[in-house]
Amino acid sequence: YGEIVKNLVELMLSHNFLQKEIALEHKAKENYYQQLLSNNIKNDELFNDRAKLFDVDFDLYRVVMVIKTLPSDNKFLHNKINDLYSLSKVDKEQDILLIRGENLVFIKSLKSNIFKEQCKVIQSLADKLLKELEDVFDFVEIGVGQVFPVLKRLYLSYEGAKHALEVGEKVYDSKEKIYYLDHLGYDYFIPYIDSDSAEYYLHHMLESDIAELFDNNDIGPLIEALADNDLNISKTADALYVHRNTLLYRLNKIKDITGYDPRNTKFLFTLLLAYHLYLYRK
């Protein structure tokens, strides 16, 4: 019995030591990626040596996802990370999940260099992450950055993911919940419009105070629906659940108030940009 107990204790101690070794290695690897996301690489040789130490593959494309949850509980997020590693699309050797500030950050490696295949993998994984996290959090939104083949430029994907999340949660329908930097289009530039330019665009360029107009009417969703349906009046009316004549009346009213006819592509874009700028700044 003494020999059995001795062997069990030795086994337990060995297992405990191994767990600590694994935890320390993971922490060191996490710190490496934290430094990478901060764009704080001062010594290229040391950077490459550490990458080799952690078996980081330099030849893989990578993308960063920033995940915002409410309530924001870092301890709970940390415990949830182990469950997320079990997802089928996660490569435990080359992918990493870490907590940065109040958000969860996922760095995903991509085996293919073909853009369409990369998009398919990213979308599938983002959907799975959203579904998994919505089971335990009241609110989840994901920002997805651009794909980079160079490890040192991964911080740009991280900044892109934060940018997509910031714009998406303010401008787009909250039902979307996953915002891709590559899908922002002209909305990408909205955060870079300074206050004076935004003030001029919303309050002085049009014939009326457009911000006040969006506050008191359903003009915003109407022009959004018109754009989504390629200026097709019948499809837009169906999307808004209104009669075609009612829609035409509202469009004429917008033209009378603003001086811009939404049925004209150029003017519709002007109004749509104003609406998104208004949503972002309100």
Averaged pLDDT for residues 73-87: 81
User: Exposed/middle/buried for 179, CB within 10 Å: 0-12, 13-18, 19+?
Assistant: buried
Reported as a pLDDT band with limits 50, 70 and 90, residue 19 is low
Residue 18 predicted with pLDDT over 70: no
Distance separating alpha carbons of residues 64 and 46, to the nearest angstrom: 23
Q: Give me the mean pLDDT over the 69-79 stretch.
A: 80
Residue 267: per-residue pLDDT: 92
pLDDT at 20: 55
pLDDT value of position 12 = 75
Note the Cα 107 to chain centre separation in Å: 12
Per-residue pLDDT of 115-151, as tens digits, reads 899 999 999 999 999 999 998 888 999 999 999 998 8
**What distances in angstroms separate CA 15 from CA 3, 12, 25, 86, 92, one per listed residue?**
18, 5, 15, 22, 21
Q: How far apart are CA 251 and CA 271, in angstroms?
A: 12
pLDDT tens for residues 201-234?
Answer: 888 776 667 777 787 678 889 999 999 999 999 9
Percent of the chain with pLDDT over 70: 93
pLDDT reported for residue 194? 93
Mean confidence (pLDDT) of the chain: 87
Is it the case that residue 23 has pLDDT exceeding 60? no
Q: What is the pLDDT of residues 230-247, one digit of tens each?
A: 999 999 999 999 999 999
CB 105 within 8 A of CB 98: yes
Higher local confidence (pLDDT), 41 or 154: 154
Residue 11 has pLDDT above 80, yes or no: no
Give yes or no for residue 17 having a pLDDT over 60. Answer: no
Give residues with Cβ within 8 angstroms of 208, minimum separation 6.
257, 258
Closest by CA position to 109, among listed 57, 31, 54, 36: 57
